[in-house]
Amino acid sequence: MTQQLNRTSVNPESILGASAPDRTGIIHFGLGNFHRAHAAVNTALAMAAEPGDWGIVGIANRSRKVTSALEAQDGLYSVVTLDPAEERVDVLDVHRRFLVAAEDGPAIIEAIADPAHRIITLTISETGYHIDGRTGKLDVASSDIAADLADPEHPRTPLGQIVAGLRARFAANGEPMAVLSCDNLLSAGNTTRAAVTQFAQAAGADADFLAWMGENVSFPNAMVDRIVPAPTDGTRAEVEEALGLQDDAPVPAELFSMWVIEDKFAGGRPKWEAAGAIFSDEVEKYELVKLRLLNGGHSLIAYLGGLDRQETIPDSRAQDFIADATRQALEVDYLPSIDLPRDFVPAEYIDSLFRRWSNTVLGDKTARVGSDGSTKLLQRVPIPALTALAKGVMPEQLALTVSAWICCCVPPKGFEPGPIADAMIEPKAEQLKAATADAGTVREHVEAILDAGVFPDELVANQAFRDRVVEYAEGIVTDGVRPTAATALQRGAQA
């Protein structure tokens, strides 16, 4: 039988960067795949360059699946880098303690109050911030947030636990702290600060606490980038072949990795620049480049690919009609909406995206990228669409993105989008199904979704945009995705 990966069985030469000391300095919410292949890797490399007390407390949201696997392996796991030119397996040894938000609230609050912890990082997905698509503010009526607000001493959401922890820290020692969002959010730091502050206000926090938080808790903006699919049996097999060990918590990742961060860490930070992170005063520009070009393009590839029954992103991107639509989305709809960072060369960046999306050894799944569409598209589509519409230009590919998302994830009655689209998880599915219950036609169905609060009012009030989303959804349902994408491409080329 193959031996389990753990501290006794691992060959120390397989460990990437430095092992963390026992003392923890970072609390991480969202122990998913991305954190384990991105911030954790950067932290291991940073500690190799400059030792520090930067062990990580990893917090899973509800399930003990990942925490139990990691605990059984002394916190060790592998990152399998999959690139056409290079494949390697590295073992990470930076997590020192594991908690589960749904069960370990008091321990999490205590950890945040502990002055040894100086940074909270987050990868809780766009859904975890509970932003109301219509107002852009914290959705205090969403069931998880409402439950926490009803009992703010026993919160279960990251926002509720961060506020309760910071209140305890303020009362105990008042040491400064940074809260660093590593999610694909617009102005990630500012958005997180707003959500945390709005939660604190709604929970009745007093003015002294809010003033302390304003001065002592920083929320750096950051752009994060590395394509990290979900692990498969193939990932486990790669580890077994490379290390001769069984790993129950491996993560696959592309070779490319980028992290651009605003340097606002009042309590100190790891030397992440030694791992390749960039500290910049232009973070928000990098965020826009990444969210609109990479993630916006990714969403369109996923929804067109889902409707075309393509299982992976490289298979989807290999379809000429999808590549053409995506290139037009980037060049015509997204790029003009971005104030670019200094020395940034868009053509090179776009070419690099197409190379990354073609990574067949990574085999990123279409359904992964298409999941959580309502919360992701809110970060990607509305501002560029409104920017184009204000100039009198119809953003054809953005309208097509919304139509294709609807047809994949909340399909009109009688339309079967197929197994790839069926595998996409839509967090607002029940709410949107209820909103469309009385819809008889595709137009009524699409309009009910547009009016359900996923997107800002200003966008859905634009009749020309509404009509285009309806028209492309009707096209997909009646003629199929390929002829509909051809129409959008032809129109976009005339813009």
Ligand X SMILES: O=P(O)(O)OC[C@@H](O)[C@@H](O)[C@H](O)[C@H](O)CO
Interface ranges with ligand NAD (CB under 6 A): 30-35, 60-61, 123-128, 157-158, 183-184, 224, 226-228
- Under the binding rule (CB under 6 A), the answer on residue 39 touching ligand X is no
Residue closest to ligand NAD, measured at CB: 32
Beta-bridged to residue 252, according to DSSP, are: 80
Shortest spacing between CB 411 and ligand NAD, in angstroms: 23
CB atoms within 10 A of CB 228: 22
What is the DSSP secondary-structure string of 305-332? HHHTT--BHHHHHTSHHHHHHHHHIIII
Smallest gap from residue 405 Cβ to ligand X (A): 13
Shortest spacing between CB 485 and ligand NAD, in angstroms: 25
Applying CB under 6 A, the span of 49-57, 290-298, 343-351, 444-452 interacting with ligand X comes to: 290-298
Q: Tell me if 453 sits within 8 A of 380, measured CB to CB.
A: no
Residues in region 376-395 near ligand X by CB under 6 A? 376
Q: CB neighbours of 461 closer than 8 A, spacing ≥ 6?
A: none
CB 396 within 8 A of CB 468: yes
295's contact among ligand NAD, ligand X, none, with CB below 5 to 8 A by partner kind, is ligand X
Binding-site member from 109, 369, 400, 489 for ligand X (CB under 6 A): 369
Q: Taking a C-beta distance cutoff of 8 angstroms, is the pair 91, 251 a contact? A: no
Of the pair 359, 484, the CB lying nearest ligand X is at 359
372 touches ligand X (CB under 6 A):
yes
Q: What is the token pair recorded at 89?
A: 């397996």
Shortest separation between residue 254's beta carbon and ligand X, angstroms: 8
- Sequence-distant (6+) residues with CB within 8 A of 54 are 20, 24, 25, 26, 43, 46, 47, 94, 270
CB of 322 to ligand X, least distance (A): 15
**Which is closer to ligand X, CB of 184 or CB of 462?**
184
Q: Which of residues 213-242 bind ligand X (CB under 6 A)?
A: 225-227
Containing H/E element for 83?
Answer: strand 77-83
* Site membership for ligand X, residue 185 (CB under 6 A): no
Q: Which of 353, 326, 376, 41 is nearest to 184 (CA)?
A: 376
CB of 183 to ligand NAD, least distance (A): 3
For residue 434, give the DSSP letter. Answer: H
Residue ranges binding ligand X (CB under 6 A): 126, 184, 225-227, 294-295, 298, 369, 372, 376
